Chain A
Amino acid sequence: MTNPAATLTPKAKGDLHTEVMTLNMGPQHPSTHGVLQIELKLDGETVVDMDPVLGYLHRGKEKHAEHITWQQWMVMTDRLDYLAPLQGEFGYALAVEKLCGIEVPERAQAIRVAIAECMRLTAHLVWFGTSALEVGAITPFFLAFREREDLFDLLDELTGLRTNQEFIRFGGVKADLEPDWVRRLAEWAHRFPACVDEYELLLSGNRIWYDRARNVGTMDADLAMSLGMTGPNLRAAGVPHDLRKAEPYSGYEKYDFEIPVGTVGDVYDRYLVRLEEMRQSARIIWQALEGLPEGEFMARDYRYVLPPKDRVYTSMEELIYQFKIVTDMRPPKGEAYAGIEGAKGELGFYLVSDGGTCSYRSHVRAPSFVNMMAIKPLCLNRPIADVVAIVGSIDFVMGECDR
């Protein structure tokens, strides 16, 4: 493969005085997925050096966890990856449940799987729409947001909020699924693969998209592994690693799905892998909904789960424990790590408890932060226009990077 950058450097370099130019891309640039600033050193149009500047969206969430209760920090995990908020809650709830030793009923596990896969779809749909928009295709954006809107209407009806839903609780979920809602989501999940075919029809054979994406930002498996990448980016590089298969959590071992793996590892492969992942997610959703087990949606663990509300109104015991659990929930001393396969990669929560009402130390293993480290090796010696395509294909969210 010839390096297109070589043809773009000034021909008369020997005669003409040229120097490297510093260009700040972002933090208000529309294609940097939030508030990322990239300091580019350009020789003509070629990137000779680049430096991502993080921290514009730093809110100190990990430190904040040391001052608010365990349940209160749940709303902060929503705001890490705000394109897939319930996955943050899911990972955090798994970590706390590991710490406390709460056993989650099977029905709650299946509900969590279904809504976590819905979140993967919404995150991938935003990625699909915006990254195609950034290289000049505007129609996919509207299509992706059409499907996302359908999904958000359903989630709004279930949780009460469109984004940043506060739906997962320690030991289960907030509310049970209604049969009518289950039927509508299953219908949607059956309809959705046809929508992905439609996206592919519009974009895969489009020469402009193909030329912008094929053999751009090629990453081999060694580079991806050495950078610690996870998620679709790693799988596009040819490594079939998926936490849902490697370390199944929340009953993922029961579902039948495939892991899409790329062959080249370029922007185009990452696009194909994510599209295939959307089809597989739809498969998981209807499997989870069709085999939805009967039973409770909340663990019957009265140390950490609030008592039934109607008894709180009338009985002294339950009233006392309502107050006690809200104000004084204390997991045992110890530490726990739980990771889930988020939309961007392995989303892990490492919590240390000293037996108090707040965590002693919390850390989020944010996939966006790790994946962002790939943009420098991928963008070097490429024309500046490729930076947009590569940054879009890596798919990070600054809320999760900066935390």
Chain B
Amino acid sequence: MVLVKNRTLTLGERFYFKTVFFGLIYTIKNIFKKKITRCYPEEKLDPAPSFHGVPVLVADSEGNPKCVACGLCEFVCPPIAITIHGTETDRPIERMPKRFDIDMLRCIECGYCEEVCPEEAIVMSQDYELVGGNRHDFKWGLDQLLVPEAKLKPRLEYIRKTFHRFKSEPRDEATAASVPGVGGAGRTLDGTQVHAALERYGDNY
């Protein structure tokens, strides 16, 4: 516990001398200091990989969405910004979104969708400039949301590092590296894998 001091004004302060002169000197000194503001539209921000811009969908090398329309991001989205209509496809992932809409006016860019996505299919981009003339412009469909994977490299690496979560557990480098390409390629229900998982987590599950 520390008592804050109970001060009274000095004579110079009472006659505004100190206040006025100190204020003037302070202002003049600040004129010559380096500017701390940014001329925004000319000087753009350079966001770090951790930056949460608008969420986008990752497209694989053929331009198809990696999304399998599982609906987990739709479920977890707190402001209910995501709408997914799934359909079947002949590709090995078997399912894909027929419609994938994000209402950017509802989106709060919390990043929960990216955190829960089991396919690395939706990530937060570096894009922070949302402009539109009317409300309809902010309902982004698949055509606007799909971004080639090559453009999202820094963010994907950040996700793989951060969402591993446990430093003492080794990262599954080999299998994580196999994820880009065709989703679900490495996903086989192998008896040894199940056994290993049960051993790792024991009765906690």
Contact = CB atoms under 8 A, between A and B. Distances in A.
B13 interface: yes
Q: Is the interface of B mostly helix, strand, loop or mixed?
A: loop
B110 A75 contact: yes
A86 to B, nearest CB: 13
Interface in A195-254: 201-202, 204-208, 210, 240
A154 to B, nearest CB: 11
Nearest to A198: B26
A176 B204 CA distance: 24
B200 to A, nearest CB: 8
Nearest to B12: A205
Given A205-B13, A302-B201, A317-B193, A310 B176 contact: yes
A58 interface: no
A400 B157 CA distance: 37
B19 A272 contact: no
Interface string A257-270: 01111111000010
B50 A157 contact: yes
Interface string A265-287: 00001001100100000000000
Nearest to B165: A298
A6 interface: no
A316 B194 contact: yes
B112 A166 contact: yes
Contact of A311 (B1, B18, B79, B172): B172
B136 interface: no
Contact of B75 (A174, A305, A319, A326): A326
Contacts of A264: 6
A166 B111 contact: yes
| Range class of the B interface residue count | 35 or more
A325 B193 CA distance: 20
Interface string B110-127: 111001101110001000
A318 interface: yes
Contact of A327 (B13, B26, B72): B72
Contact of A313 (B1, B19, B120): B120
B4 A262 contact: yes
Contact of B48 (A157, A166, A206): A157
A161 B128 CA distance: 11
A306 to B, nearest CB: 7
Given A164-B108, A207-B14, A305-B165, A72 B2 contact: no
Interface of B: 1-7, 9-10, 13-14, 16, 18-19, 22-23, 26-27, 36, 48, 50-52, 70, 72, 75-76, 78-79, 108-112, 115-116, 118-120, 124, 159-160, 162-169, 171-173, 175-176, 178-179, 186-187, 189, 193-194, 197-198, 201, 204-205
Given A261-B2, A313-B120, 6 more contacts: A71-B112, A160-B48, A207-B9, A308-B171, A313-B119, A322-B116
13 contacts: A260-B4, A263-B3, A264-B6, A295-B167, A309-B159, A310-B160, A313-B179, A313-B187, A314-B172, A314-B187, A322-B118, A326-B72, A327-B76
Q: Which 3 pairs from chain A and chain B are nearest by CB?
A: A317-B197, A309-B163, A160-B52
